[in-house]
Structure 1
C-alpha cells in the first residue's frame, strides 16, 4: 500500500513505453475502398471527409498508396451501374468488384491482401441484403445463400485473397465454404461478419455504397444492440460452418462483444471501426472539440485492448502516417 507502492513510478518517460500492455501497429490495419462504376474521377463522400469513391481507373492507384504506407490489406465495396431486385450485377465475372480485384492484383500482386465484402445491399434496387418476397416484404434467407456462394466464387476467381460475408443470413458461411471448395478455392479463407448489429452507426456508409433500403429496416437479420449472449451463438454457428476469422461490427459500442468473442473462441478476431465512428471523430475534430490524432489513437488502441487482432477502419491511412 501507499507509500510503499507508487504506481506513478512507472509512468515516467520511456519507462511508460517499456511496460505498455497493448500496442498498435500498421500491421493491425485494414483500409476499406469504395469502387464505383458510375464515376470517372474520385468523389469525396460528404459524410466521411477524406474518404472517396474511386472509379475503376483509380482503384489500383489507391491500393498502391495504401500498400506504400505499410498497410497490409484492403477490403473492397462495389457500387454497380445497374441494380435490380436480384442483385444480378454482384456475381458476374466482369462486374465492378471482380474487375477491381484484377486491377489491384495486376498492379500489386501479393504486396496487399485483397478482401472482398460478400453482400447484396449495394447491388439490389431495394437496398436489402438478400432476395425478397415483394408481397410480404420478407428477406428470404435460403434463396439468398445460393447467390452469396456465386459472389464468393466470382471474387475468388478474380484473385481475391479472402472473402467476407456481411449479410447476416443464417447458413451463409457454410454456403460460401461449400461453393468455394466445390470450385477449387478451398484455400480462400472466410472472414465472417459473425456478430453484426443493427446499428445507427452505418449511416455514412450507406451514402458511400449507395445502399440505403427502400422499405423497412435490417432488424430482421442484423442483431439487436441489446443482446450479447446471442452474439456468442452467432459466432458458434459460424465457427462450426468453417469461418476462419470472426468479426464484430461496429467496434466502439461493442467492445464487450469483441472481448467475449476473443476470450471464448481464441480465434483470429477482427473489429470493424465503422463509418459513423469515423464521422463522429472527424466532425468533432473539425469543430475543435477533440484532438483528432489523439482521438484516432485512443479509439484504435481500445479496440486492440478489447481483443481484436486487427481493425478494419477508415482511419487506416491516417493511423499509418501517425505510427510512422
Structure 2
C-alpha cells in the first residue's frame, strides 16, 4: 500500500555512509527517511562481504563488515530514522516550495527539504568470466561473494582475480578450507601490500597455491557441482585445479540506474560535487560516498563519513532557514537523542 511522507532529509542508499549521514543529520536535529533497493541495510557491506574484515575504520584495528553495519545502525537509532527498504527510487521531482519529492517503485512518496544520494556505486553486479556453461554452476559451486566463511570449510577452493577481494579472501579462507588456489593472469596483485605479503607467506608455507600467470579456461563437473577448474597460460599451456568451489572476483559492473536521469552533472558514472559541501549541480541535492566525485577523491569509507558531516551542515540552513547553528563537538552536546 503506497504512502506519503514528509521529512527534512531523504537519504538514497542505506550503506555505511548513508547510515552515518542519519547520525550527522540527527545531531543537527534533522529527521531522515532512508530508501534502499536491497531488503536490508548495509549496502555492499551486507550484500557482498558481511564477514570480510575492514582495517581502516578509526578506533577498530579490524571489524567485520556486518558488525560495522550493526554499530552504525545502532548509532543512528536514537534519531528515529524511517527505512524504506526493498524499493528503488524511480523519480526525483522538485516541489513548488524548493524541496524535492522522492518516488519509489512501491508507490511511496517522500517529500523532503533536501536529498542526500549515498548510493555507493549505484546498481551493482559482478563481472562474470566468459566461460562456457558458467550459469549451471552459479549459486551452487561458483560464487561472486562470500556471505559465510564457514560455507567453504573443508572445501577445495579456487579463487580467480588479483584485487583486494581475491587476496583478502584467499588469506581468510586458508584458515578453514581444505585447499586454496589463487588464479591470476599476472604475478603482481592489485591489492593492499600487507595483505599480498600475508598471502605470499601462506604460499611459502603451502597453505595457498599461487597459480600465475594463468587465466580461467573452463569448468569441469556435473549437476552444477564443480570437480575442477581449467586454467591456461597465454601460451596455451593448460592444467586442471581440483575444486569444490570457485570464487570469481573480477570487480563490479556499475550502473547509476535512474540516478543518471535526474539532471545532475556526471563524471564517468559518478556524481560531480563541490568538495566542501558535497552539493551537486542541483540545489538541495547532495551526494556522498563512492557515488560522489571531485578532484583527488579517495574512495574510502572514512572519506564518506567525513562527507556525510559536511553535507549535513550544508543542509541545515536550507532545512532550517533563519535558525542559527552553533557548531559544537559531540563531547559538548552530550549523548545523542531524537
Q: Same fold (TM over 0.5)?
A: no
Task: Name the structure with the higher strand share.
Answer: 2
Under a length normalisation based on structure 2, what TM-score does the superposition of the two structures give?
0.23
Q: What's the TM-score once normalised by structure 1's chain length?
A: 0.23
